[in-house]
Amino acid sequence: MLRAARSCVAEHGLAGTTSRMIATTAGANLASITYYFGGKDELMGAALFGELSARVEPVLDLLEDGEQSAATRLAYAVQRLLVDFEAARGDLPVFLHALMESAAPGAFAQQARRLLASLQERLAAVLADLNGRGLIASWVDPDPMAALIIATAQGAALHAHLHPDGPPLADLAAQLSMLLLSAATPTAFQPHNVASADPA
């Protein structure tokens, strides 16, 4: 049923995909959607955001491996992301469209927000650990930085879809990793001072 939902969305878009279409593609009874998932929105959320969560989970596990150095963790995590990205490249338009649709209220949006909140929380915990070990600069605020990394990843995915002949995603990911690691030495520039500075 989950594969059928993704297949229908890829062919017809979210708006054009109906419960009956999914059931027919899956060779299942229409009522099974309500029985197993509660409704079409819940099924679509599980099919799209559940898949994203399954792809990201191993990456977060790598980042949380405290026995590895920060550079090693980031390198392994980036490598895993790239492998998964290539494997799912054909599904990328579906996932990007799903993220856009999640701005509207409803069960579908709730699943998207739960996934992003979970990703941000775990990534922030990793950044806080790196911060506490002095591996990244003290000005790196884990929560905003985690949100920025996720937003950057989403933007990079969209860029790769719209501009396939641009810089390889591997290069973008490597640049992002090195930017974060290069923040290991505090500088005179403190971002929180900018907002409070007197313009006069």
Q: How many residues does the chain have?
A: 200
DSSP reduced 3-state for 9: helix
What token pair was written down for 172? 């973008």
Give the DSSP letter string of 47-73.
HHHHHHHHHHHHHHHHHT-TTS-HHHH
Tens of each residue's pLDDT in the chain, 200 residues: 988 988 888 788 777 889 999 999 999 999 999 988 888 888 887 887 777 777 778 877 877 776 777 667 766 776 676 666 666 666 677 777 777 777 777 766 777 788 888 888 888 888 888 888 777 788 889 999 888 888 887 787 777 778 888 887 777 777 877 777 776 554 433 444 434 444 44
Distance, CA of 2 to CA of 35 (rounded, Å): 14
Domain parsing of the chain, residue ranges: 45-184
Please say whether the beta carbons of 104 and 199 come within 8 A: no
Q: Which two tokens stand for residue 170?
A: 């591997």
pTM score above 0.85: no
- The highest-level CATH class for domain 45-184 is mainly alpha
Q: Is 60 within 8 Å of 123 (Cβ atoms)?
A: yes
